[in-house]
Amino acid sequence: MLAARTTQSANANPARDGGTGFGAGRAEHLETLYRLTDRLYRASGQPAMLQAALDAIGEGLCCDRCSILLFDAAGVMRFAAWRGLSAHYRKTLEGHTPWRPDTVDPEPIFVADIDQTEESEEVKRTIRAEGIRSLAFLPLTAQGKVIGKFMAYHSEPSAFGEAQRALAITVARQIGFSLERAQAEQARLAALRDLVESEQRFRLMAEHAPVMIWMCDAEGRCLHLNQMLRRFWQVEEEQIGGFDWRQLLHPDDVQNVMQHMGAALEQQESVLVTGRYRNASGEYRVLETLANPRFAADGSFMGLTGVNTDITERERAEKALRDSEERFRLVVEASPAGMVMTDGAGRILMINALCEKLFGYDDGELLNREIEVLVPPAMRQHHPGLRETLADRPPPVAKREVVGRRKDGRDIPLEIGVNPILTSDGLRIIATVADIAERKRAEAQRELLLAELNHRVKNTLAVVQGLAHQTFTHADSSARRAFEGRLQALATAHDLLTRSHWESTSLSQLVSDALQIGDTSRQRVSADGPMVRLNPHAALSIALALHELVTNTLKHGALSCDTGVVTLSWNYLDGGEMLRLEWRESGGPMVIPPRHKGFGSLLLERTLARDLDGRVELCFDPAGVVCVIEMPLR
């Protein structure tokens, strides 16, 4: 088509007004333009405009066939309005255009004779078949861009005269302006429609949002309440104008809320305020209100737009938590033991007054301090390490004795029980702290008393020995020595009991004390048995019995010669209820049973049996003395 234009423009026969009989006179042209302008001005839509344009083209260019084509959204030139054109023609030549939408300064094209162009044969054939020999292409532009074209057709080869060309160009411009105006109007309407839709959408959102939304004017008068807020107060939409939410404020909150809201209106600024409001069912709910100022396009203050959030449950939960914490604090405070809680880093989060007093601090003085201030400097360095190992240990950690450092620098003995707990806030370490200075003093006192008691008992034994010494004088030194030996045995057992604080004593220790008989003899005694602990009473009795047996065997029995041996053994009977102890001599001189029982035998068989609530059997077997003691273990 571009090729066609060049050829045709070059070869065009300049038309002369009225020269061909197709053109109209200048006056008619003015008439045509006037009518077109008028109709375009009055047209209420694009179709009416296009019809007016076709009328003007037909009239001004004296043709009964013409058309207007416009680019569609895809940039294809399509027939928008036409006269006297077959469907086949329109279909075949639709999209045919010498210009694109971005063509700069498009020139009109006047084709005098289609046969003289270099168009394809198909195009020429279609045009001829439609009975068309000459055509005019006029570009329609809007805002400098090609939006379409109009076409005028003649059945005979024709030259478009100067006047006709000028008219065609003017008509094209008029159509372009009108289309541009129509498009702008359309765009404006579309924008307006979008705005209305968007407004409606937001209105709908605000109306149905699951929060309470409201608007008030610059004086604080209620303009709008959304559905949720209307339901909260059970206010109908038509009542909003006269609705006064202030009446529903809790009397105690009126001052605070009104002060905040008043300030927001006056300063035209945001506000965040919490208050209790009575809802439709008469229940006070806690509402947190956040409101922002609203301004018109000219900057004038329009009022506030706010959102209310019902925080009643949150408040309740927070209060419950505060109450629970308060209860916990009271329990800790009232605890009869010192209590302290730290975080994982050892910072004191809670400590009761008792505990602070223990360390010589005032109430609350230790809060947020490091727990290490309560540790003597020598141990301070590795204390954090100890704390860290706690985190891995399953509670409860056993109580233990430590030394604490008071504020005045004095060290005090303490017993602490430490429990790590993992909370949602991280590791917490709770410790009970007890001052055991008193207990330590009592323990030391007890030690002292025991030592004193032991001293006195042994002094008394020594006095008894002195008495015996005086009583027996030189008359019977063997009897005196036997007596002294027994006193010694008693004193030795006594020592042993003192060392074990008169609680219980081990049988094997008792045996080894009793066998202080010189190395050569000792090697011939075997002693064997399980670990047995004896109460003080039994221990004294057994010590005396062993003394008798040892003394006897050294004097008359297995240990009185070089060949004899003694086997001492013990074991449990009746599942640990009873103890059986056996002294068995062998290899010594043949045993001759004594004619009358001496003190030793008496002590063993009668006193011991009674003392131990058990059975003692002393047997003077010729092969060696055997003594069996059976006693309950209590």
Smallest gap from Cβ 510 to other proteins, in A, equals: 16
Among 20, 155, 465, 535, binds other proteins (CB under 8 A): 465
495 in contact with other proteins (CB under 8 A):
yes
Among 85, 337, 464, 517, binds other proteins (CB under 8 A): 464
Decide whether 48 or 464 has the Cβ nearer to other proteins.
464
479 in contact with other proteins (CB under 8 A):
no
> 232-265 in b/e burial notation, b at 16+ Cβ within 10 A?
bbebeeeebeebebeebbeeebeeebeebbeebb
Among 128, 499, 537, 606, binds other proteins (CB under 8 A): 499
Decide whether 247 or 516 has the Cβ nearer to other proteins.
516
> Phi, psi (5° rounding) for residue 476?
-140, 85
What whole-number distance in Å separates Cα of residue 123 and Cα of residue 133? 12
Segment lying near other proteins (by CB under 8 A), choices 76-84, 197-205, 494-502, 610-618: 494-502
Strand-strand pairing, 109-111 and 134-142: antiparallel
Segment lying near other proteins (by CB under 8 A), choices 32-40, 308-316, 466-474, 556-564: 466-474
Among 86, 239, 267, 459, binds other proteins (CB under 8 A): 459
Identify the CA nearest to 486 among candidates 608, 342, 347. 608
Smallest gap from Cβ 529 to other proteins, in A, equals: 25
Among 145, 458, 580, 615, binds other proteins (CB under 8 A): 458
Among 193, 314, 456, 501, binds other proteins (CB under 8 A): 456
Binding mask 433-452 for other proteins (x = CB under 8 A): ------------------x-
Among 379, 457, 482, 554, binds other proteins (CB under 8 A): 457
DSSP 487-550: HHHHHHHHHHHHHTTTT-EEHHHHHHHHT-S-HHHHTTEEEE----EE-HHHHHHHHHHHHHHH
467 in contact with other proteins (CB under 8 A):
yes
What whole-number distance in Å separates Cα of residue 356 and Cα of residue 374? 10
Instruction: Name beta bridge partners: 171.
Output: none
481 in contact with other proteins (CB under 8 A):
yes
Q: Do 568 and 527 touch, CB atoms closer than 8 A?
A: yes
The HSE-up count of residue 202 (CA atoms within 13 Å, CB side) is: 5
In angstroms and rounded to an integer, the radius of gyration of the C-alpha atoms of the chain is 62
Q: Do 132 and 114 touch, CB atoms closer than 8 A?
A: yes
What whole-number distance in Å separates Cα of residue 169 and Cα of residue 69? 16
Among 48, 436, 461, 482, binds other proteins (CB under 8 A): 461
Decide whether 174 or 552 has the Cβ nearer to other proteins.
552
CA 64 vs CA 45, 108, 419: distances in Å: 24, 20, 106
Among 97, 342, 498, 552, binds other proteins (CB under 8 A): 498
- Size of the residue set binding other proteins (CB under 8 A): 26
- Token pair for 55: 């009328």
Smallest gap from Cβ 411 to other proteins, in A, equals: 24
Segment lying near other proteins (by CB under 8 A), choices 42-50, 267-275, 347-355, 482-490: 482-490
Among 449, 462, 602, 623, binds other proteins (CB under 8 A): 462
Among 485, 529, 587, 589, binds other proteins (CB under 8 A): 485
Classified as helix, coil or strand, 594 is coil
Residues 6+ apart with CB under 8 A from 358: 338, 404, 406, 412, 414, 433, 435
Among 44, 300, 423, 470, binds other proteins (CB under 8 A): 470
- Token pair for 269: 């600024």
Per the listing, tokens 């809007």 go with 142
117 in contact with other proteins (CB under 8 A):
no
What whole-number distance in Å separates Cα of residue 322 and Cα of residue 496? 60
What whole-number distance in Å separates Cα of residue 626 and Cα of residue 582? 7
Name the helix (H) or strand (E) containing 413: strand 411-423
Binding mask 526-555 for other proteins (x = CB under 8 A): ------------------------------
Decide whether 472 or 572 has the Cβ nearer to other proteins.
472
Name the helix (H) or strand (E) containing 536: helix 536-555
Smallest gap from Cβ 517 to other proteins, in A, equals: 12
Among 3, 321, 367, 463, binds other proteins (CB under 8 A): 463
- Token pair for 146: 């090609």
Smallest gap from Cβ 595 to other proteins, in A, equals: 29
Identify the CA nearest to 33 among candidates 65, 61, 63, 56. 56
Classified as helix, coil or strand, 111 is strand
Decide whether 376 or 485 has the Cβ nearer to other proteins.
485
| Number of residues that make up the chain | 634
CA 312 vs CA 235, 254, 309: distances in Å: 21, 18, 9
Smallest gap from Cβ 410 to other proteins, in A, equals: 26
314 in contact with other proteins (CB under 8 A):
no
Among 13, 51, 454, 586, binds other proteins (CB under 8 A): 454
517 in contact with other proteins (CB under 8 A):
no
Chain contacts with other proteins (rule: CB under 8 A): 451, 454-459, 461-467, 469-470, 481, 484-485, 487-488, 491, 495, 498-499, 516
